[in-house]
Amino acid sequence: MEIQELKIFSQNINEQESFYSDVLGFDCIRTSASTLEVITKENKLIFEKSDSMSYYHFAFLIPPKSLESAIAYVEDRSVELLRLKNDKVIYFDSGKAIYFYDKDANIVEFIERPTLKYRSQHSFSADSIIKVNEIGLPVKNPLQVAGRLVAEFNVEPLNEMEFNSIFCWAGDYNGVIIVVKEGRNWLPTDKPAISNDFSIWYEEQGKATGLKFENNKIIRLSR
């Protein structure tokens, strides 16, 4: 799965613009008073102003071997890293990551995945960030929702046999919708996953698909 754009909602869009542009150094475009685009090399994250409280978990992919430099980059900008048992770096089979909060208390992740064919880079800046790589989707029935993403909406999982009632990895290392049970804590925090609305465009096997997740429903989008 290649995510083309991800749109989420923000109560603090001016503060988010300052955080992503001035603090982290992303290229940002304010397309309207209520919309902010955060640009990466391969896709974009869109914030749309909303009065409703919500928070998300999403991840940006960074180059292999750049995580240590990314830690210094983030901490030099007075952004506190979230820890798991006092560890800043969380290790997975597919890579390793750091986490921090943005101005909406979203749980933001920088992750490197060495199995993907991107050039290693020991130094880090905002220009190094490759793309939005994952978004969390908390639902009441992860197996049912992930099954629909596969059967109806052209999502190709790494291994559908590993889907379970708590956690389903709907996608691959290039891009993934992480379908989780509502109330499950987001790593590495004790914040429970809550249902929230967002929209996403992604490409799978050359076919573009747009989906909106709204009020626990999946709605197909058209350009």
Assess contact for 89 and 67: CB atoms under 8 A: yes
Q: Model confidence over 3-39: pLDDT tens digits?
A: 999 999 999 999 999 999 999 999 999 999 999 999 9
Residue of 136, 133, 191, 211 lying closest to 167 (CA atoms): 136
Strands of the 198-204 sheet, one edge to the other: 27-32, 35-39, 44-49, 2-10, 198-204, 207-214, 217-221
Q: How many domains does the chain have?
A: 1
Q: Model confidence over 132-165: pLDDT tens digits?
A: 999 999 999 999 999 999 999 999 999 999 999 9
Per the structure, the complete domain to which residue 90 belongs is given by 2-221
pLDDT reported for residue 94: 87
pLDDT reported for residue 191: 96
Q: Which residue has the tokens 């955080």?
A: 19
Indicate which CATH number applies to the domain containing 178. Answer: 3.10.180.10
Q: Are strands 131-139 and 57-62 parallel, antiparallel or unpaired?
A: antiparallel
Burial letters 156-177, b for 16+ CB under 10 A, else e: ebeeeeebeeeebbbbbbbbbb
